[in-house]
Structure 1
Amino acid sequence: MPEGDQRQGPSSASAAKPGFLAKDIVLANPCKSWPQSSRAWLHQQESNTWPTAEMKKYAKSTKCFVVGVGSRASENAAFEWRFSTSLAERCLMFNLNITQIKCYILMKMILKTYIYVENLDNESYISSFMCKTVLFHCIASKPSCVWKECNILNCLNYCLFTLNNCILNEHCPHFIVHENNLMAGKFSAEVKQQLLERMSTLIPFDGISLFGIQTDNLGEKLQTKFNIINEVHHDIPQSDECIMLITANLLGHIAKAVLKIEKIGSLETLLQTVIQLKIYYRAGNMLEKTACRLLVPRHCTSIGSLIASQNIQINNTVSPQALTWIEAGLDSDVASSRLKLASIMYCVGNTEIAALILSHIEEQYKIEVTEPICDCYKFYKCGFKTGFGQLSGQYGVGSLKDIVAFCVKFSTLEINCVLHELQYEMFRSTQEDLLHRGRRDNWMDCAVVDSLPYHYFLQYKTYSFLQRPAEQQQALTKLGWVIRTEHNL
């Protein structure tokens, strides 16, 4: 196990940390064929039953795996491997109707609320996988006409009753590999008694227990719906709040997609990309035109910056051609393209112009609204700002240029447009690193920084050059402030 990870069955799991999501990874080796124990299930071709012949035909075409975990009931558990039919099970899950899905979710909620018993290793005795397996067995044993929304409580009662029998007999056969008993050696006689006692309070299931479920405030929502309580809890999002949350997330994902698709390369590559985007724009539908409008400005800025870098290397000036390309890309977002222009002006000694550009950016960058967006590494955002959500709902993708601040990215070909302190970022790789480069490791040669910190740092450098110490100190103070207070850098 990697340091800090925990073993959970065949998986390596790590908890969420500030800025990073929890992860759960299973290393699985594909088999050349399905195991003998599963072939009987695959070749059963009963009519009018679940899974259908079509589903089994698809399942048969998927791979089967082995994963590194032994049976709890075995003396050789440390050396054993378990068959995993996860792709076939995913096919079954995708073919559930809405009532069956709701039964599965409610079973998990009920277990979490009323049945959850833990051992010393912090492992639940009744897992989500067992719930899913019980559901599969129940669906296979009842006609499809039973699984309707109007009959959901009876369906849920049947699932809980089946789970209770599995605990009673300590036998829950895997739905596909029947010889695999999911409950073999899973719990002691004492734990079994505790589980059965807790299950007895739910069977027969009358639905009242749903009111006690705190997950997603389900119990409270149900009580409100049936007028059991008159007040809606303040934590339950209202419809306009939900819309704001969804539109903010959609705009955030679109902004990330723009960064992900943006090419880093030579001048010829970027020019060819812009020509292709122009062709797509002319021939495309409304969505394709929108996509091109979002992508072109970023590429224009990069082209202008590449030409400027060549100009600076030759004669320490910036050509009108470079400025024209940069100007075409200024509205890609609130700050990043303008920051590239300010950086270029600083590098050629036009610090007065750089100061003016930076002053304009500061006016445009509304701290309480503008969201920094970056796609350089997997990062869990700490929620969007309220103002960002409101404006994204009002103006859609058109608000990208007004309320999103992309990170500022310089490739090695733009090195002459970068502040000296950032150039070190382009030389992080040792000779040994370069030998083991993958096709996705080119970012190691780039200098990348969030817009707002770069803005204040560039201001600090510019005012230092112009010998304006009061404004220089103010820029330094703001730089420290943004690093301490902006959660989404």
Structure 2
Amino acid sequence: MKRYAKSTKCFAVGVGSRASEIAAFEWRLSTSLAERCLMFNLNITQIKCYNLMKMILKKYINVENLDNESYISSFMCKTVLFHCIASKPSCVWKECNILNCLNYCLFTLNNCLLNEHCPHFIDHENNLMAGKFSAEVKQQLLERMSTLIPFDGISLFGIPIDNLGERLQVKLNMKNEVHHAMPQQDEYTMTVTGNLLAELAKDVLRIVEIGDGSLETLLQKVIKLKRYYRAGDMLEKTACRLLVPPLCTSIGSLIASQNIQINNTVSSEALTWIEAGLDSDVASSRLKLASIMYCVGNAEIAALILPHIEEQYKTEVTEPMCDCYMFDRRYCKKGFGRLSSQYGVEVLKYIVAFCVKFFTLEINCVPHELQYEMFRSTQEDLLHRGEDDDWMDCAVVDSLPYLYFLQYKTYSFLQRPQEQQQALNKLEWVIRTELNLAHRETEFIRTVHGTGEQTC
């Protein structure tokens, strides 16, 4: 990871320092690629610390500013987190120790604020707090921070974002009346809500089909959804939030495929679009990013992304979802139904794994074993093809098998045979045991031809 961070390229941005007298003539170095590498390498506890820091700042620190400015930014939180991770052994960052980790991060942030010095994690000479606020504002911020340090967790109960405070109180049995007011979940409720969320996920997949597969078509869809979001009601805004991320991923993948064809690199524009779509679901968008990194030769980055996806993919609750087949209601996981009834449509991105679909124009973003799927039509097939047969030109695969397949290919490239064999074992296991796979035959074929193992 250090080797990649040191060798990767950076960008020059036409933004000067606030503390400088010649800001109009200055350029800022942006190390976003190295930072993205670091973020993908965070474990779940570190990610939770980052999210909780942002929630705490929004609720308790960056409030009632006359100029409506967030003096302590998310980037500062991320920078502080990086410094804290670098200064503490990895064994500290465990979920059972999350309050202590969060307390350490807030304490470090308070010290930065006290000294008006928050050094950029990679470029230490760049002080993120230089010229950021006046002495009066600094005093206000320190006063607000003083109510949080030492951090005992009580302040979390007052956070309204995602109903965090209320959910914590319910979980800790501190709000018994909520238990009485909430109807008890039964098997029928979980079945109905699970089926509703599954059908919603399939609707998302159907609607975000990219038509002729052109970049122009995709961009037009995103522009329309943006317009609908601004003018729409609550339900329309929810629909747009679900539909836009998969489209952003496809746009990024199309641009990346063009980049790879021209000069075997991936542009910052492609990565920005892909990053905007990472939260479409549990796995598919991140798998596209890992696939692109592998195809462009950045196997080390792919190896960083894939374990994070595997950690997020909770097999006991996550449902694979595809528009290519009828969802079998008999096999809906109980955990999936339970979370669907508790949290509604917003939980889709945490418990649904869309299939990974590559269109013909994305051919440079997939390993060669999967490229054959794009050329399965014979001349006779083309003559009799209907409007609904466009999928024949696509390479479509379920998320979890593709995760293990990419791990196999990546670890093979990096000459890590033990992890490579583990990935192969997991691939074989998921093909045999996951009940709701839509493209099982694709998995069998790719396991044989992609790995050279005659185990299937």
Match of residue 56 from structure 1: none
Q: Pick the aligned partner of 2:271 from 323, 326, 329.
A: 323
Deviations 1:281-303 (A, max 9, x none): 11111111111100000000000
- Distance in structure 1 (CA, Å) of the matches to 2:185 and 2:429: 35
Partner of 2:154: none
1:484 equivalent among 425, 432, 435: 432
* CA displacement, residues 6-53 of structure 1 (integer Å, 9 cap, x when unaligned): xxxxxxxxxxxxxxxxxxxxxxxxxxxxxxxxxxxxxxxxxxxxxxxx
Query: Alignment partner of 1:372: what SS?
Result: strand
Query: What residue is the counterpart of 1:258 in the other structure?
Result: 204
Q: Distance in 1 between matches of 2:381 and 2:335?
A: 43
Shift, 1:441, TM fit:
1.2
Structure 1 match to 2:423:
475
- Report whether the alignment pairs 1:434 with 2:382: yes
Distance, in Å, in 2 between the alignment partners of 1:424 and 1:399 is 35
Query: Partner residue of 2:352?
Result: 404
Q: Find the aligned partners of 1:375 and 1:409 in 2 and give their Cα distance.
A: 11
Tell me which of 337, 342, 346 is aligned to 2:290.
342
Aligned residue for 2:279, secondary structure, equals helix
8 Å CA contact 1:263, 1:270 repeated in 2? no
SS class of match (2:396)? strand
Distance, in Å, in 2 between the alignment partners of 1:387 and 1:454 is 23
Partner of 2:72: none
TM-score (norm. length: structure 2): 0.54
Shift in Å, 1:474:
0.3
1:445 to 2:393 alignment: yes
Please say if 1:386 is aligned against 2:334. Answer: yes
- Does residue 287 (structure 1) correspond to residue 235 (structure 2)? The answer is yes
* SS of residue paired to 2:357: strand
Deviations 1:288-328 (A, max 9, x none): 11111000000000000000000000000000000000000
Is the contact made by 1:304 and 1:326 (CA closer than 8 Å) also made in structure 2? yes
Deviations, residues 338-368 of structure 1 (Å, cap 9, x unaligned): 0000000000000010011001001101111
Aligned length: 252
Q: 1:380 Cα deviation (Å)?
A: 2.9
Give a deviation string over 1:445-470, Cα, whole Å, max 9, x none: 00000000000000000000000000
Residue 304 of structure 2, aligned match among 348, 356, 363: 356
Q: Hey, which of these two has a bigger chunk of helix by percent?
A: 2
Rounded to whole Å, the distance in 2 between the matches of 1:394 and 1:382 is 20
- Once the two structures are TM-superposed, the CA of residue 383 in structure 1 deviates from its matched residue by 2.4
Q: Does 1:249 align with 2:198?
A: no
Tell me how far apart the structure 2 counterparts of residues 452 and 347 of structure 1 sit (CA, whole Å): 19
Output the CA distance in 1 between the equivalents of 2:382 and 2:269: 34
Partner AA of 2:276 in structure 1: A
Alignment of 1:14-53 (within 5 A): none
Moved over 4 A (4+): none
Task: Specify every segment of 5 or more residues in structure 2 that has no aligned partner in the other structure, as ranges.
Answer: 1-183, 438-456
Do 2:409 and 2:420's aligned partners in 1 also have CA atoms closer than 8 Å?
Answer: yes
d(CA) in 1 for partners of 2:185 and 2:343?
18
C-alpha separation in 2, matches of 1:371 and 1:427: 29
**Preserved CA contact (<8 Å) 1:372 1:451:** yes
Shift of 1:381: 4.3
Q: Which residue of 2 aligns with 1:240?
A: 186
In structure 1, distance between residues paired with 2:202 and 2:186: 24
Q: Unaligned regions of 5+ residues in structure 1, if any?
A: 1-237
Change (3 A) 1:427 1:319: same
Tell me how large the CA RMSD over aligned residues is.
1.1
- CA apart distance, 1:412: 0.1
Find the partner of 1:418 among 366, 369, 374: 366
Displacement of 1:382 in angstroms is: 3.4
Which residue is equivalent to 2:411?
Answer: 463
Could you tell me whether the CA contact under 8 Å between 2:319 and 2:351 is conserved in 1? yes
Amino acid at match of 1:260: R
Tell me the equivalent position of 2:258: 310
Q: Which amino acid aligns with 2:225?
A: L
Deviation at 1:239, TM superposition (A): 5.8
Asked whether the equivalents of residues 342 and 357 of structure 1 are also in contact (C-alpha less than 8 Å), the reply is yes
Where relative contact order (Cα < 8 A, 6+ residues apart) is larger, the structure is 2
Contact 1:335 1:365 in 2 (8 A): yes
- Structure 1 residues 78-89: aligned runs within 5 Å: none
Q: In the TM superposition, what whole-angstrom CA distance separates every residue of 1:62-103 from its partner, at most 9, and x where no partner exists? A: xxxxxxxxxxxxxxxxxxxxxxxxxxxxxxxxxxxxxxxxxx
